[in-house]
Structure 1
Amino acid sequence: MTDDQAPTRLILVRHGEAHANIDDVAAGVRTCRGLTDRGREQASRLAKYLASQQDYGIDAVYSSIAARARQTGEILAAALDQPVFPALSAPNYGEGEGRPWPEIIAGFGDAPALHPDQPLARGAESWTTYQRRTGRDLADLVRRYPGRTVAVVGHRETVMAASMNFFSLLPWARADITFTVDYTGVTTWEHAPLRHTNPPNGHRRWNLVRHNDTRHLD
Structure 2
Amino acid sequence: MRNIFVVVHPEASHHTDGLVGGWFDSGLTELGTRQAGAIARALADRLDGRKPEIFSSDLSRARRTAEVVAARANTSITTDPDLREKSFGEAEGKPKEWLRARSVPLPDVGERLRHDEGIPGAETRMQLAERCYRALARILESPVEDQIVVTHGGPVTLLIAAWIGMPIEAAGRVQFPCASGSITTLRKDPRNFSHQLVQLNDVGHLLQA
Measured against the shorter chain, the TM-score band is 0.7 to 0.9
The 1:48/1:193 distance shift into structure 2, 3 A limit, reads closer
Identify the match of residue 183 of structure 1 among 175, 180, 186. 180
1:88 aligned onto 2:101: no
Using the size of structure 2 for normalisation, the TM-score is: 0.84
* Partner of residue 171, structure 1: 171
SS at match of 1:85: strand
Q: Percent identity?
A: 27
Give 1:50 shift: 1.3
Q: Are 1:61 and 1:85, in contact at CA under 8 Å, matched by a contact in 2? A: yes
34-43 or 53-62, larger mean C-alpha shift: 53-62
How far apart are residue 59 of structure 1 and its match? 2.0
CA distance in 2, matches of 1:60, 1:78: 12
The one-character-per-residue Cα deviations of 1:29-71 (angstroms, maximum 9, x if unpaired) are 4x32211111111110111121233557242111101111111
Query: Structure 1 residues 88, 10: CA separation in 2 closer, same or farther (over 3 Å shift)?
Result: farther
Contact 1:9 1:190 in 2 (8 A): yes
Compared with structure 1, are the counterparts of its residues 136 and 171 closer, same or farther at alpha carbon in structure 2 (3 Å cutoff)?
same
More displaced stretch, 110-119 vs 64-73: 110-119
Alignment of 1:155 onto 2:152: yes
Q: Which one of the candidate residues 92, 98, 106 is aligned to 2:101?
A: 106
> Counterpart of 1:116?
113
Alignment of 1:1-218 (within 5 A): 7-29=1-23, 31-55=24-48, 57-89=50-82, 90=84, 91-111=86-106, 115-120=112-117, 121-143=119-141, 145-167=142-164, 168=166, 170-174=170-174, 178-192=175-189, 195=192, 204-218=193-207
Q: Gapped runs of 5+ residues in structure 1?
A: 1-6, 196-203
Structure 1 residues 7-47: Cα deviation after superposition (integer angstroms, max 9, x where no partner): 23211000010111122322344x32211111111110111
Q: Which has the larger radius of gyration?
A: 1
Amino acid at match of 2:188: H
State how far apart, in whole Å, the 1-side matches of 2:130 and 2:191 are. Answer: 24
C-alpha change, 1:192 and 1:56, in structure 2 (3 Å) is farther
- Consecutive unaligned residues of structure 2, counting only runs of 5 or more, are none
Task: Mark the CA change 1:127 to 1:98 in structure 2 (over 3 Å): closer, same or farther.
Answer: same
